[in-house]
Amino acid sequence: MCQNLIWVMILLGQIHGYKSCIQKERMALFEIKMYMISVAQEGESNSVLPTWTNDTKSDCCRWKGVKCNRSSGRVTEIAFGVIPRSFSGLKTVESLDLSFNRLHGEIPPQLTELSSLAVFNVSYNNLSGVIPQGKQFNTFDTKSYLGNPFLCGQPTNKSCNSNNVKEPDNEVEAHEYAIDMVSFYWSLTASYVTILVGVLASLSFDSPWSRAWFNTVDAFLLKVRNLFW
């Protein structure tokens, strides 16, 4: 009975110890959402972070993409999942660092419209597809895309088209075939020579096996001689 009471007290302590998000941080997150809506393209505003509501009773720690410290209620991580196309509306942004955010999907080509962008970093996510090119994106090097093995195109030098692999022409194939046949004949000849040397070496010793071999050969030669003479 006492042991069960201890477990109940521990459970109640854990429930009581869980804190919802801090209101100031909830408001800050909602302001981020409102800004993303303001720069979103027409018809996309309803799809921008739908779980992030302006309800004061809404716990932002339970919003999709938001993680909090259970004991303090402070926001520790924000993950958008994919890179929102609405980021293309940030016309004056100069630096966009989205590294280590477990992002997936493609890099929106609309981001090439960010003419003021000087720093772009999406390294160590799980992005895939073709890296956009043009304008500011032509200035970013491979460091911006490290840790995304499924990205292709410049500046990674990884081809996005598997058909780009050059097939060998007929002359190369014929040359390789000739080399293979020469190697085959040389190896076959070497095998026969090795076997012959082994047989001759074994016959050079006086043993029942060698005497039986010579007797068989003599009998065969005698039969051949009788057939022709």
Confidence of residue 220 (pLDDT cuts 50, 70, 90): low
- Residue 12 has a pLDDT of 40
Q: Which of 168-182, 195-209, 215-229 has the highest mean pLDDT?
A: 215-229
pLDDT value at 170 more than 60: no
Q: Which of 28-37, 170-179, 207-216, 220-229 has the highest mean pLDDT?
A: 28-37
| Cα gap 145→156, rounded to integer Å | 8
Q: What is the tens place of the pLDDT at every residue in 67-97?
A: 888 888 888 877 777 887 777 777 788 888 8
**pTM for this predicted structure:** 0.50
pLDDT value at 11 more than 70: no
- Residue 9 has a pLDDT of 37
Confidence of residue 204 (pLDDT cuts 50, 70, 90): low
| 197-223 burial: b if 16+ Cβ within 10 Å, else e | eeeeeeeeeeeeeeeeeeeeeeeeeee
Which domains occur in the chain, in start order? Answer: 12-78 (no CATH), 79-165 (3.80.10.10)
Which has more confidence, 13 or 203?
203
Q: What is the tens place of the pLDDT at every residue in 90-147?
A: 778 888 888 888 888 999 998 998 888 899 999 999 999 999 998 889 999 999 999 9
| 57-85 burial: b if 16+ Cβ within 10 Å, else e | ebebbebeebebeeeebebeeeebeebbb
pLDDT value at 166 more than 80: no
| Cα gap 85→19, rounded to integer Å | 33
Q: What is the tens place of the pLDDT at every residue in 13-55?
A: 444 455 678 888 888 888 877 877 776 666 666 667 788 888 8
**Least trusted range by pLDDT, from 1-10, 18-27, 153-162:** 1-10
What's the one-letter identity of residue 124?
Y
Q: What SS3 class is residue 43? A: coil
pLDDT value at 167 more than 80: no
- Residue 121 has a pLDDT of 92
The answer to whether 90 and 114 are in contact (CB under 8 A) is yes
- Residue 173 has a pLDDT of 45
